[in-house]
Each structure stands twice: as C-alpha cells, then as structure tokens.
C-alpha cells in the first residue's frame, strides 16, 4: 500500500457531513475537523504506513477508532469530577497509538506483548481515552485513575454463554458495552474460571466486544480455539489480537497453534 491508497481509505472511512478533511501534500498529513467547533486531529500518513507494515490492517482500524472517538470527545469537553465511577480500562493491540495526533501521551499500562491497557472516561454512547495533559488539568493522578478504573471494572456483569465442542468448553462474554475484552483484567473472574476448568484454561480477546475463555481438555480443542479466535479477529470492529493466551503460573502467555497437539506457551509446537 502507498500513501495515496492509504489516504483514499482514510478519507472514505472518515467522511461525514459534520466534518472537513484536508490533505497537506508537503507534510503528508491528513487533517480531520469538526465543522461546529473547528477542533480536530491530524494523521501522519508516513507514521501510519510504518505501523501498517508491522501490524497490517489492524493499525488502520486502530487509527480510525482513535480519530472517531477523539472528535466525539472534543464536542463534549468532559470533566472527571463527579464521573469517577465512569472511568474504565480498555484493552487495545500493542500497535495502538500511544499519543494523540497533537502529541499528548495517553495514559496506559503494560499488559502483554500483544496487548496494552488504556484508560477511558465513559460518555454514554462513546468514551474518551485519557491523556496525561487532561489528568493534569483535572488535578488527578495517573495512579488514582488506574485504581478507579480497576475498581469500576469489577462492577461490570460477567455472565457468559457456554458452548461445548468435542468435550472442550468455551465461555463467551459479550455485552457490547465497550469493555468485554477489558474483563480479562478482572482477577475475581479469572479465579472463578480457574476453579471451573477441568483442563487448560485459555483466554482470547480477538476484538473489543468479546472475551473468550476456553477449558481445553484435548488437542482438538486448541485447533478449535485457533480457528475461533481468528474468525472473531477478522470480523470485529476494533480488532485486538488473533493470538489466544494460556494462564501459566499466574501469567498470560500467547500460544501458537499450528498442529493437533498441545502447544507450548509462547512458542510454536514441535512438528
């Protein structure tokens, strides 16, 4: 893909009667603004192409998500005071931009090699990803935001739907509230699933709106898990990772499933 092709994709995906889109050929930057406020974001095509070469279409989807939600947040000018119970963690792919288009660093925490945790203020039908400059203006520390987000996460429902395929049980959490994948951070939920599992406990966050636990009791279960995760990854609006994880000594480790035998955590199984 070249810059011109990327530009056409972005303009098509981001066009709206409420926005203006301008392209600066000298800097290879695309500027998207809200007509009502004049506020907007700027995308560097060179930087996005670089991320595309590493992460593929996921990099474009991540950028589109960020632009849409940033523009929505700009129209509302939210504040944190009185909304402490509306702060939640959100799981994103490791390739998700760590800074806003105007250089503000987003509040984030390490998670796995495939994923990273960001923090958001829920606005009802959307949410604003929090940046350090915003927290400073609100007089709130990063640590307090993280603590509030983790506390609020535990208040979210965790009822799952169960499917059994070839004796392997799969549990799907899908509320479409923007935080399905984030529930992977709920330690109480993880402990409950560990108690319930008869075999290896796996978890997958292929996109934002689903969390999949797997109770894998035979080799076929891993093949099913791999196919299932890839299907969800390719159809989700906000893809995260096609790699499932296994709980190994209290840690999440990505697993590569290429054969009908139990794979070793974090490396390809022997042929």
| Residue 266 pLDDT > 50 | no
SS3 (DSSP) at 232: helix
In sequence order, what are the residues at sequence separation of 6 or more whose Cβ sits closer than 8 angstroms to the Cβ of residue 255?
202, 222, 243, 244, 245, 246, 263, 264, 265, 266
Q: Which of 25-29, 89-93, 155-159 has the lowest mean pLDDT?
A: 25-29
Q: What would the pLDDT profile of 158-197 be if each residue is shown by its tens digit?
A: 999 999 999 999 999 999 999 999 999 999 999 899 999 9
CA distances from 11 to 1, 31, 50, 243 (A): 15, 10, 19, 30
Whether this prediction's pTM lies above 0.75 is answered by no
**DSSP H or E segment with residue 58:** helix 57-74
Which sign does the torsion angle of CA 191, 148, 251, 237 carry?
A: positive
Query: How far apart, in whole angstroms, are the C-alpha atoms of residue 94 and residue 146?
Result: 18
User: Among 175, 190, 180, 74, which residue's Cα sits nearest to residue 131?
Assistant: 74
């Amino acid at each position: 893909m070249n810059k011109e092709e990327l530009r056409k994709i972005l303009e098509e995906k981001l066009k709206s009667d409420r926005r203006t889109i301008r392209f600066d050929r000298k800097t290879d930057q695309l500027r998207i603004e809200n007509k009502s406020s004049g506020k907007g974001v700027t995308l560097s095509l060179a930087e996005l192409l670089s991320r595309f070469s590493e992460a593929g279409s996921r990099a474009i989807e991540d950028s589109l998500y960020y632009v849409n939600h940033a523009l929505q947040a700009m129209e509302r000018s939210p504040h944190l005071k009185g909304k402490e119970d509306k702060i939640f963690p959100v799981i994103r792919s490791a390739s998700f931009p760590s800074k806003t288009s105007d250089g503000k660093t987003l509040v984030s925490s390490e998670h796995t090699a495939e994923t990273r945790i960001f923090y958001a203020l829920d606005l009802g039908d959307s949410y604003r990803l929090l940046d350090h400059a915003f927290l400073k203006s609100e007089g709130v520390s990063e640590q307090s935001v993280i603590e509030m987000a983790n506390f609020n996460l535990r208040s979210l429902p965790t009822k799952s739907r169960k499917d059994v395929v070839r004796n392997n049980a799969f549990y799907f959490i899908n509320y479409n509230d923007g935080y399905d994948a984030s529930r992977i951070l709920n330690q109480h939920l993880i402990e409950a699933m560990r108690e319930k599992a008869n075999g290896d406990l796996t978890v997958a966050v292929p996109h934002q709106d689903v969390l999949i636990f797997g109770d894998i009791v035979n080799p076929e279960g891993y093949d099913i898990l791999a196919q299932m995760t890839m299907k969800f990854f390719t159809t989700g609006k906000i893809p995260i990772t096609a790699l499932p994880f296994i709980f190994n000594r209290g840690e999440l480790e990505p697993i590569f499933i290429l054969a009908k035998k139990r794979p070793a955590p974090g490396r390809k199984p022997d042929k």
